[in-house]
Amino acid sequence: MKNEADVVVIGGGINGCAIAYELAKRGKDIIVVERKWLAYGATGRCGAGIRQQWATKENAMLAKKSVEIFEGLSEELGYDIGLRQGGYLIAIHDEEGMKQAKKNVEMQRSIGLPVRIIGEDEIKEIAPILSPEGMEAIAATFCPTDGHANPFKTTYAYAMAAKKLGAEIYKFTEVKDIKVEEGKVKKVITNRGEIKTKYVVNAAGAWSREIGKMVGLEMPNKPVRKEAMVTEPLKRMFDCMVISFKHGIYFSQQDEGQILGGIPSPEEKVGYHTEPTFSFLKHMAHMLGKYAPSLKHVSILRQWTGFYDVTPDALPILGETSIEGFIQCNGFSGHGFMIAPMTARLLAQLICGEKIDMDISRLNMDRFKGEITEEKAVVG
């Protein structure tokens, strides 16, 4: 194990691996430390949906720029990431929802997204298995360039490309402490040795707040257990992700044909709880049967849990902190996969002192001292 690096990245999820790649591309000497294996955290348990239809401009822009990167990523990294752009169909249930949808669509179109509002007939055209009646939907918004990528393939693609550029990735290596002197990052202490460095990127997902404590930062992030399930594989029936902010449900058909989805579980808990619940399965099956009645005879193969790393405004925490060299990259709630490509690029630009493509200063941790603008368009 090397004992010195320009930047130590904590966490081998999509964000840690993407940042490692962007930094290695810029000639930096990088070490990624991961307590378990790549994609062990939320990344390996997520829906990996890619949505640009957000209510806040920050999220919509981050997602849009990320889609532009995703579109060329298999080629750039030299490994297939399993990108599929089948769109996101977001149910609108009532007049109130329609008002919010119109506002969102206006903002989204103003930044160049091809989003539109569609009626019940078009819902059935796009995804014939859907029942607008069962969904209690009067309309939907649809953005055809939204989609999905394989979370494992994408993470490994970034990691392998970073390695080829000289980055070191240490699995089964846990960060135990971080030494700070005179307000500056000096050293990362792991169970396998110490690494001298000036920069640490905190991309430890739901465990980021524990890493924050190591440098004396109190972070507002909360780990929230989320559940997901997958069915047996079926012949291809629809290409889009279906979601509803009101019901909190999301589901799509994966490349291999299985239906993967989630919904907030009735027993949702804050804290590091990993046990799956039957009440989730029951609730999910019930709602899925309403949204797509023909799925009632389909078997569920697996269910599992993962953590959302939730901030008070459901926006990520990105950038510098009061500790020199300690860079935040966490608090992604339920959407840290889809914005990772752009987030990684911006943070790499920040660390390398380059001109930054997009102003992310509002996503700094300092914002929690003042008034909070919350992202309302969240599911799962």
Ligand X SMILES: Cc1cc2nc3c(=O)[nH]c(=O)nc-3n(C[C@H](O)[C@H](O)[C@H](O)COP(=O)(O)OP(=O)(O)OC[C@H]3O[C@@H](n4cnc5c(N)ncnc54)[C@H](O)[C@@H]3O)c2cc1C
Site for ligand X, rule CB under 6 A: 10-16, 33-36, 40-43, 45-49, 174-175, 203-207, 226, 228, 262, 306-308, 330, 332, 334-338, 380
Q: Does 165 bind another protein (CB under 8 A)?
A: no
Binds 14: which of ligand X, another protein, none (CB < 5-8 Å by kind): ligand X
265 binds, among ligand X, another protein, none (CB under 5 to 8 A by kind): none
What is the C-alpha separation between 83 and 95, in angstroms, rounded? 34
For residues 330 and 202, give the distance between their C-alpha atoms in angstroms, rounded to a whole number. 7
Nearer to another protein, 119 or 276 (CB): 276
Residue 226 backbone dihedrals phi, psi, to 5 degrees: -125, 150
With CB cut-offs between 5 and 8 Å by kind, which of ligand X, another protein, none does residue 289 bind?
Answer: another protein
Say how many C-beta atoms besides its own lie within 10 A of residue 29's C-beta.
15
The binder of 231, among ligand X, another protein, none, by C-beta within 5 to 8 A per type, is another protein
Euclidean distance between CA atoms 254 and 257, whole angstroms: 5
The residues with which 224 forms a beta bridge, in sequence order, are 270, 308
The pair phi, psi for residue 333, each rounded to 5°, is: 45, -125
- String of contacts with another protein for each residue 224-243, x by CB under 8 A: -------xx-----------
304 binds another protein (CB under 8 A): yes
Instruction: Name which of 294 and 361 has its Cβ closer to another protein.
Output: 294
Q: Is 18 in the site for another protein (CB under 8 A)?
A: no
> Which two structure tokens, joined as six digits, stand for 163?
């390695």
Q: Which stretch binds another protein (CB under 8 A): 48-56, 122-130, 149-157, 199-207?
A: 149-157
Measured distance CA(39)–CA(93) in Å, rounded: 35
Q: Tell me how far apart the alpha carbons of residues 65 and 67 are, in angstroms, rounded to a whole number.
A: 5
CB of 95 to ligand X, least distance (A): 28
In the complex with ligand X, which residue's Cβ is closer, 123 or 241?
241
Residue 97 or 334: which CB sits closer to ligand X?
A: 334
Does 306 interact with another protein (rule: CB under 8 A)? no
Choose, by CB under 8 A, the member of 62, 81, 295, 327 that binds another protein. Answer: 295
Q: Are 104 and 53 in contact (CB under 8 A)?
A: yes
DSSP per-residue string spanning 169-194: EESS--EEEEEEETTEEEEEEETTEE
Q: How far apart are CA 79 and CA 76, in angstroms?
A: 8
Instruction: Measure the CA–CA gap between 155 and 174, rounded to whole angstroms.
Output: 19
Among 220, 239, 276, 350, binds another protein (CB under 8 A): 276
When CB distances are held under 5 to 8 angstroms depending on the partner's kind, the choice from another protein, ligand X, none that residue 299 binds is another protein
Q: If binding is defined by CB under 8 A, does position 136 make contact with another protein? A: no
The answer to whether 169 and 162 are in contact (CB under 8 A) is yes
| Residue 219: Cβ-neighbour burial (10 angstroms; 0-12, 13-18, 19+) | buried
State the virtual CA torsion across 130, 246, 248, 119 in degrees, nearest 10: 30
Contact partner, 12, from another protein, ligand X, none, Cβ < 5-8 Å per class = ligand X
Q: Binding to another protein by residue 274, rule CB under 8 A?
A: no
What is the binding site for another protein (CB under 8 A)? 37-40, 44, 152-153, 156, 160, 171, 231-232, 256, 276, 281-282, 285-289, 295-304
